[in-house]
Amino acid sequence: MKILVCISQVPDTSTKIVLKNNNTSVSSDGVTYVLNPYDEWYALIRAIELKESGIATEIHLITVGKADVEPVMRKALALGGDEAIRIDAESSDAYETAGYIAAYAAQVGYDLILCGKESIDYNNGTTGTMLAGLLDMDYIGFATDIQIESGAALVKREIEGGEETDTCNLPLVISCQKGVAEARIPNMRGIMAARTRPLKVIVPSKITAVTEILTYELPPAKAGIKLVSPDDMDGLVALLHTEARVI
């Protein structure tokens, strides 16, 4: 069984966002980039577990980006994975990204495609669903547990107010979130091995994006906090009723 894991690089979770060029782009000065946590902690680690338990035979990691994403791909390889693929393009929306990945995946053919439930930069959560659509594959979103047995997947996924268990024969696209696997840190052996694992660069045929970001804006500063004495909870309730109008 061959697994493809979709990886995105994102600013570290503690990054302060700074805008530049008249608010038309986000500054990358001093920003540390990391593997998108949902891709790493859940999708990639689950793929590695499936290989360790002998269910998966090969894991490929794929990303869309220019050469500056390679350190993050090396870090992903240090956790596990047999080969990394970088689609050499600067994608400007999810449609374009999913298009490149789908074109590559269609050529190779994968039994299982895993991605995170969303990337923490653009918070779309659309890549997995789009991939499934483009590849005419089935899709299960927001997985919290993935088991594979004799060519079929048994997947628990979040639904509103609870959980659902689905079954589906492979091939399948699944988006992963908390519960799917436990976070790990790469060990020295993995880091050494990652250096020699292939990182292929693919030049794609251009796909034209269907959206563009015109400008960015930072949220307005909070108007300042009102402190309420711990002895005056009636006062707090009154404020929430008359001023905030939330109860």
Partner 1 sequence: MSVIVLVEHTGGVIKKKNFEAVQYASQIAKKAGTTVTALVLGTVTETEMEGLGQYGAQKVLHIADARLDEFHARAYSSALVAAAEKETAKIIVTLHDIGGRMVAPRVAVQLKAGLVAGALSYPDTEKGFVIKKAVFSGKAFAYVNILSDTKVIMLMPNTFPATKQEGKAVVERLDISFSEKDFVVKVKSVNKVTGEVSLADAELVVSGGRGMKGPENWGILEDLAKELGAATACSRPVADSHWRPHHEHVGQTGGTVRPNLYIAVGISGAIQHLAGVNGSKTIVVINKDPEAPFFKAANYGVVGDAMEVLPRLTAAVRKFKEQHK
Using CB under 6 A, which residues numbered 12 to 31 contact ligand FAD?
13
Closest CA to 140 of 149, 150, 123, 153: 153
Residue 21 interacts with which of partner 1, ligand FAD, none, CB < 5 to 8 Å by class: none
Q: Which helix (H) or strand (E) holds 148?
A: strand 138-149
Nearest to ligand FAD of 13, 167 (CB atom) = 13
Amino acid at 122: Y
Q: Which of 29, 160, 188, 205 binds partner 1 (CB under 8 A)?
A: 160
Please, what is the minimum distance in Å from the beta carbon of residue 13 to ligand FAD? 4
For position 161 contacting partner 1 by CB under 8 A, the verdict is yes
The C-alpha atoms of residue 89 and residue 84 are separated, in whole angstroms, by 15
Nearest to partner 1 of 64, 194 (CB atom) = 64
161: left (phi over 0), alpha (psi -120 to 50) or beta: left
In order, the DSSP letters of 37-78 are HIIIIIIIHHHHHHHHTTS-SEEEEEEE--GGGHHHHHHHHH
Residue 179 interacts with which of ligand FAD, partner 1, none, CB < 5 to 8 Å by class: partner 1
Pairing of strands 152-159, 58-64: unpaired
Mask of contacts with ligand FAD, 29-68, x by CB under 6 A? --------x-------------------------------
Interface residues with ligand FAD (CB under 6 A) are 13, 37
